[in-house]
Amino acid sequence: MVVSQTAAAVLGASPLVLSTSNATNLGRKSTMHRLMQGVNKCGQGTRKVTAMVASGPRPPTLGSGSNGGDEPLKINIGEGMMGGGFTNVDPESRRIVPDANGRTKIKIVYVVLESQYQSSLSAAVNRINDQRGNICIEIVGYLLEELRDAENFENFKEDVASANIFIGSLIFIEELADKIVEAVGPARETLDACLVFPSMPAVMKLNKLGTFSMSQLGQSKSVIGDFIKSARQNNDNFEEGLLKLVRTLPKVLKYLPSDKAQDARNFVNALQYWVGGNADNLENLILSTVQSYVPEFKDTDFSTSDPELFPDIGIWHPTAPTFYEDLKEYLNWYDTRTDLDLPKDAPVIGLVLQRSHLVTGDEGHYAGVVSELEARGAKVVPVFAGALDFSAPVKKFFYDPMGTGRSYVDTVVSLTGFALVGGPARQDAPKAVEALKQLDVPYLCSLPLVFQTTEEWLDSQLGVHPVQVALQVALPELDGAIEPIVFAGRDSATGKSHSLPDRIDSLCSRAIKWARLTKKKNQDKKLAITVFSFPPDKGNVGTAAYLNVFGSIFKVLQDLKKDGYNVGELPGSERELIESILNAEEQKFNSNDLNVAYKMSVDEYQRLCPYAEALEENWGQPPGQLNTNGQELLVYGKQFGNVFIGVQPTFGYEGDPMRLLFSKSASPHHGFAAYYTFLESIFEADAVLHFGTHGSLEFMPGKQVGMSGVCYPDSLIGSIPNLYYYAANNPSEATIAKRRSYANTISYLTPPAENAGLYKGLKELKELISSYQSMRDSGRSDAICATIIETARQCNLDKDVKLPEDDTKELDMEEKDLIVGNVYRKLMEIESRLLPCGLHVVGCAPTAEEAVATLVNIAELDRPDQKPEPIKSLPSILATAIGRNIEDIYSGNNKGILEEVDTLQRITEASRECVSEFVKDRTGMDGRIGTNYLANIMKMFGLIAEPYVRALQGTEFAKADRAEIVRLFKYIEFCLEQVVKDNEIGALKEALDGKYVEPGPGGDPIRNPGVLPTGKNIHALDPQSIPTAAAIKNAKVVVDRLLERQAMDNDGKYPESIAVVLWGTDNIKTYGESLAQVMMMVGVKPVPDALGRVNKLEVIPLEELGRPRVDVVVNCSGVFRDLFVNQMSLMDRAIKLAAEQDEPLEMNFVRKHALEVAEKEGVTLREGATRVFSNASGSYSSNVNLAVENSSWSDESQLQEMYLNRKSFAFNSDRPGAGGEESREMFTSAMKTVDVTFQNLDSSEISLTDVSHYFDSDPTKLVQGLRDDGKAPSAFIADTTTANAQVRSLSETVRLDARTKLLNPKWYEGMLGSGYEGVREIQKRLTNTVGWSATSGMVDNWVYDEANSTFIEDEEMAQRLLETNPNSFRKLVATFLEANGRGYWDASEDQLERLRQLYTDVEDKIEGVE
């Protein structure tokens, strides 16, 4: 494979050290991996940065002491000057102060984004100081992020004030750019020269070389002036533009007066020296600038050389004699190397590098990757670009040099960390995606540490610095990049990058595995399909959000079989497939009667699983108690040819109340580790497919982003390519899977939505209201109104609508209309609510008819930002047609004005009719989108009009604006095509073929139809882009409605403090609406910078606000924390800014409470304003959901203790590097003042009882227990699922949810259509309802009564549930009994007796099978 010359040559330029004996005979485990075996066993002691750096020891996890839990995890933030910042590196380490010895000393200060220039600048300065007799240089450098620290910033200002020359480069973070301007601006006149290379326009204006000034040129009518102006609008291509400017210098200079031409030429030369980057170029940069602009050396000639130029793009190799600008030339050299003997079918890996690292001599980490790939038998083509458009070398060097147009490389790995096109300013994702789609191979984006040293990253539980996450993880994901593995560290002394051997080992093994998918025949590929079982119960095997898992797997297997995959003897049906995996379907989950695919001995497990010993701290010696028969570890599942379908083990501590109570995090158990060990080392999977949203792997302990080799998700997934079917509407958790388990996430559609409709008494009520309207002026109106009131009571609407106790005859017409109007409003709210019916099967697109309700809701929203023209909503167009404004109609409807409720209902019905007619017109004979030939012929001959025109003919809306309607329905047609497209199985097959899966946003398809079609590699969004202006506008509406409602209910008093829960997915779907709500509550407005990144704040004056600043306590989900650390900082800054406003305390509750806490706790005002909390790093949820789902809790105080224990980690923007610091006392103090608890619902697909997350984060009863007066807070839910946003009480929302889902025949019959999995969905809704009783007490008794009547007292229904999924039915029965036993349901003795008998019957059935 490889002989020692390569290693020796590589290592001459690299700090990585490989012994030549180890480099020759590698086998499966690489040299790097073996080198690390001893290092990974080191203890928790202080680490030094060395050339060969391991990923560090495992973090402390859940202890096995008597309390069943670990000590609270605390982050050591160090005692350095940046304590709590992200780096403890002292800029003094970059200061060189020479002995003058009679020479003139020149002082240079520089600021850069990354540290690769440190080494070559230091070398250049040392050479001048050693060799020049008349000049010496003092130099000091700052990394941009270091200027956040107050002491550093003061030192920087002092240094600039006494400097001769300032140099800055890549300053694209506006809040730090402002600091540069603040420090350098006043000193600019006294500086001899100021050189700023690609940066934000305000910083570029600081440039000063004699008469040359960017600010002057920006106003001049010249080529440079035009360039500067375009650069302000197009910062993503600033560096590319500057380099083009350099190349066209002769044309540019003729536009300048002769005295300015030399200075402009000097600037361009300076730029060439800088981008050349090596010590020679930087020495010449310093000397040429000094001799031209420092007065003391005005007539001195230092005999500088012209800039040494390097190719803009090219191919580099650590052992090559030169850069190559032609792939054939490179391959001629590469294929004649005597130190390398690769097979003809060796995988080819394309690497993408930054030229600046190569020219500055900071390429050791690149060499380490090349060396490791070649040691593993891969051919390597490492390309580079001088600017930040890396698509150019991709297009030039990664295609077959013989001109076939096929890709020459099998996998691309970017080692830049940046987006393919753009860099730190912005990126051009469409251009990148186009280039990568054409190349069509997997695209991995690995990253070097930029803002931290290696030891700081190792010590951090956050992992990679949040600014780097935003720039170098989130942005590449928009290009379709996967696997953000940290492959290189940064030395604290030299600033140089160095290899992280075990990380490079992981990166290279994974890249080669992806490449081999291209070369392997389908019949030989091994695929491990992994399903989930949560909560652990045999009736729950195959759990996934809104997915028919086994129906989907059956369809996938049939498709793979057609493509030549060996799927063995497939079962004849989905039902047989379920039975083959569950074995005896009625058996209990933990009875071993799940099919056992493999029994792993303890010896084999310990030999094959390198981290087995680390799990013993939590779980004792293997085999442990889970997934074992007492002697061996059991892997559950079934093999079909080369496809293994396995059941992922659960977390393992769901049923242990003490662990749920005390754990901050816990390692996977031995059974979990054995499962993934089996997949990699025994089954030898070529890829794993995690089937549906979601499993446990990505939520195991470890760093948030940028994991080390001892983070459990990294250890578990090993080197297996990970494909993951994920619901399109859940981009936040999909992003966690992408970053923490290296998943290529493939989106699937949620089931087609339908309007909930009305049933039973609700249907009767609507008919009565219709009668009332037609007979309103007759003598029968009193009687009908009385019947409406009585029926409303029978339907339990009396909690939602204020109904009179007295005889309706005493009411006047206006009062009767208001009662009927409010009942009507509530009915329409129920009837029109969208709900997904049934479960989705992967690869089955909805019919056109099934898409109607979704399209109606898409048409309901205004789209002011739509290009090329804004689109008005259909309700707005129809309202205008009758001379009304839709917002006025919404307002009247919300007040229950009968006429307005009826008007809105007529608009809604007309909208549905328009869309239905339109869809019929586009529907073929098979019920799917196609050509309706008859309709086309009739339209051609003028026999019928366009469908939306037909629908409105003869109605009050016939005069609707035709141009507006045509524009809207062009958009609806596009959306319809997207809804019914399907690439879910196609994308899976592309990934298994080793191809590029096109990226696409996740989110709500109604708000953002760009989510469609599914079958895309899901990404979130640029976290620095939220909240958007539209989100801020919508947030203000919701906050105003919430505060108005509270003031109305409390004699005009505003709440002093609101506890808000923030979710990752919600903020992605709404572009930051709930984040903006927090800002609006405290009266601070987020503002974008010049690049559109939201990182600035403006205080809204009290006069404009028109109310007090309301205090907040923000609890962020673990997923929000992982995705939006920068926004957590923005929120914390906003709250502290509000607290610092010198305003009357009765008008600033933030300040009032912060002062109280500061005095009580003896802390500063800013510390007293700590209000942003989440879990400890690497930890998710409060565990209340696990306790409720597994019935493993004794009383509510235990649930509240879990919440306090796990959700009280404070985020502090003054100490961002500290991550979440345990601050239980501060959290408790803040919660004691809470008057209102508040959450958001933003999508019709997920409501309060669909998932356990919502009640898991609800603090309503917790606040009541903490308040000194014991008063229960008000609890509200904002519903922004429609254009008419609502703020409802929590109890109202729970009732609405029950009526539209759990108790609605349309919903539960739709679920039961999916059989086994449908029963589980019904049981899950009831369990989540009990969760709401436990955390809020806001569930009415009638909800349990009606559910019991529907599923238990109806004998035919009970039998259906029992036969379809006995385990889930048993859980359903047990949940009813539990609700009664805990005092949440006041059941009759007859009801309880039937439940007990049913429980016995179902136990007998299960036991009988056993």
Percent of all residues in the chain with a pLDDT value above 70, rounded to a whole number: 86
Percent of all residues in the chain with a pLDDT value above 90, rounded to a whole number: 52
Q: What is the pLDDT of residue 226?
A: 52
- Token pair for 239: 């560096």
Peptide bond into 535 cis (omega under 30): yes
pLDDT-based confidence at residue 38 (cuts at 50, 70, 90): very low
The helix (run of H) or strand (run of E) holding residue 1365 is: none
Check whether 59 has a pLDDT greater than 90: no
504 within 8 A of 371, measured Cβ to Cβ: no
Distance of CA 405 to the CA centre of its chain: 35
198 within 8 A of 177, measured Cβ to Cβ: no
pLDDT-based confidence at residue 743 (cuts at 50, 70, 90): very high
Distance of CA 1168 to the CA centre of its chain: 30
pLDDT-based confidence at residue 240 (cuts at 50, 70, 90): low
881 within 8 A of 808, measured Cβ to Cβ: no
- Token pair for 75: 């982050």
Q: What is the pLDDT of residue 199?
A: 85
Check whether 399 has a pLDDT greater than 50: yes
- Among 661, 765, 718, CA closest to 485: 718
pLDDT-based confidence at residue 250 (cuts at 50, 70, 90): very low
Check whether 1127 has a pLDDT greater than 90: no
pLDDT-based confidence at residue 938 (cuts at 50, 70, 90): low
Q: What is the pLDDT of residue 86?
A: 52
> What is residue 1106's three-state secondary structure?
coil
- Token pair for 1221: 């610091």
Per-residue model confidence as pLDDT tens digits over 1367-1398: 889 999 999 999 999 999 999 999 999 999 99
Any residues with CB less than 8 A from the CB of 1138 and at least 6 apart, and which? 1082, 1083, 1084, 1099, 1109, 1148, 1150, 1151, 1169
The helix (run of H) or strand (run of E) holding residue 537 is: none
CA distance 941 to 397: 56
pLDDT, the chain, mean: 84
Q: What is the pLDDT of residue 868?
A: 86
Q: How would DSSP label each residue in 612-681?
A: GGGGHHHH-STT-SSSB-SSEEEEEEEEETTEEEEEPP--S-TT-HHHHHH-S--PPPHHHHHHHHIIII
Q: How would DSSP label each residue in 1278-1344?
A: EE-SSSS-EEEEHHHHHHHHIIIIIT-HHHHHHHHTTTHHHHHHHHHHHHHHHHHHHHT----HHHH
Any residues with CB less than 8 A from the CB of 907 and at least 6 apart, and which? 875, 878, 879, 886, 889, 957
Per-residue model confidence as pLDDT tens digits over 120-143: 999 999 999 999 989 999 999 999
CA distance 850 to 846: 6
pLDDT-based confidence at residue 253 (cuts at 50, 70, 90): low
1057 within 8 A of 1112, measured Cβ to Cβ: yes
Check whether 1105 has a pLDDT greater than 60: yes
Beta-carbon neighbour count of residue 841 at 10 Å?
23
Q: What residues pair up with 628 in beta bridges, in sequence order?
A: 633
Burial class (CB in 10 A: 0-12, 13-18, 19+), 599: middle
CA distance 832 to 855: 13
Any residues with CB less than 8 A from the CB of 339 and at least 6 apart, and which? 2, 3, 4, 5, 6, 9, 319
Per-residue model confidence as pLDDT tens digits over 175-196: 889 999 999 999 999 999 999 9
Check whether 358 has a pLDDT greater than 50: yes
Check whether 23 has a pLDDT greater than 50: no
CA distance 714 to 1121: 20
Task: Please compute the mean of the pLDDT values over residues 1170-1191 and round it to a whole number.
Answer: 85
CA distance 500 to 368: 9
> What is residue 899's three-state secondary structure?
helix
Q: Which of 420-424, 477-481, 984-988 has the lowest mean pLDDT?
A: 420-424
CA distance 330 to 315: 7
1180 within 8 A of 1119, measured Cβ to Cβ: yes
CA distance 445 to 786: 68
CA distance 231 to 1068: 29
Q: Tokens 């079909």 label which residue?
A: 640
Which letter does DSSP use for residue 883 in this model? T
pLDDT-based confidence at residue 925 (cuts at 50, 70, 90): low
Q: What is the pLDDT of residue 375?
A: 95
CA distance 311 to 243: 12
Q: List Cα–Cα distances, 959 to 195, 861, 941, 968, in angstroms.
A: 64, 21, 23, 16
Q: What is the pLDDT of residue 922?
A: 81
Per-residue model confidence as pLDDT tens digits over 1010-1043: 888 999 999 887 777 888 888 899 999 999 999 9
Check whether 1363 has a pLDDT greater than 70: yes
Task: Please compute the mean of the pLDDT values over residues 1219-1233 and round it to a whole number.
Answer: 88
Q: What is the pLDDT of residue 584?
A: 43
Q: What is the pLDDT of residue 255?
A: 54
- Among 1161, 1387, 1378, 1382, CA closest to 1261: 1382
Sign of the alpha-carbon torsion through 393, 396, 397, 398:
positive
Q: What is the pLDDT of residue 332?
A: 95
- Better pLDDT: 588 or 87: 87
Check whether 53 has a pLDDT greater than 70: no
Task: Please compute the mean of the pLDDT values over residues 978-989 and round it to a whole number.
Answer: 90
Q: What residues pair up with 486 in beta bridges, in sequence order?
A: 447
Pairing of strands 1236-1241, 313-315: unpaired
- Among 717, 958, 1009, 749, CA closest to 855: 1009
Q: What is the pLDDT of residue 592?
A: 45
The helix (run of H) or strand (run of E) holding residue 1062 is: strand 1057-1062
Q: What is the pLDDT of residue 662?
A: 52
Task: Please compute the mean of the pLDDT values over residues 742-761 and round it to a whole number.
Answer: 90
Check whether 418 has a pLDDT greater than 50: yes
pLDDT-based confidence at residue 385 (cuts at 50, 70, 90): very high
> What is residue 943's three-state secondary structure?
coil
CA distance 1401 to 1179: 40
CA distance 242 to 1367: 67
- Among 10, 1160, 170, CA closest to 18: 10
Check whether 1102 has a pLDDT greater than 90: yes
Q: What is the pLDDT of residue 1178?
A: 72
pTM: 0.82
Distance of CA 507 to the CA centre of its chain: 22
Any residues with CB less than 8 A from the CB of 859 and at least 6 apart, and which? 873, 874, 911, 914, 915, 968, 972
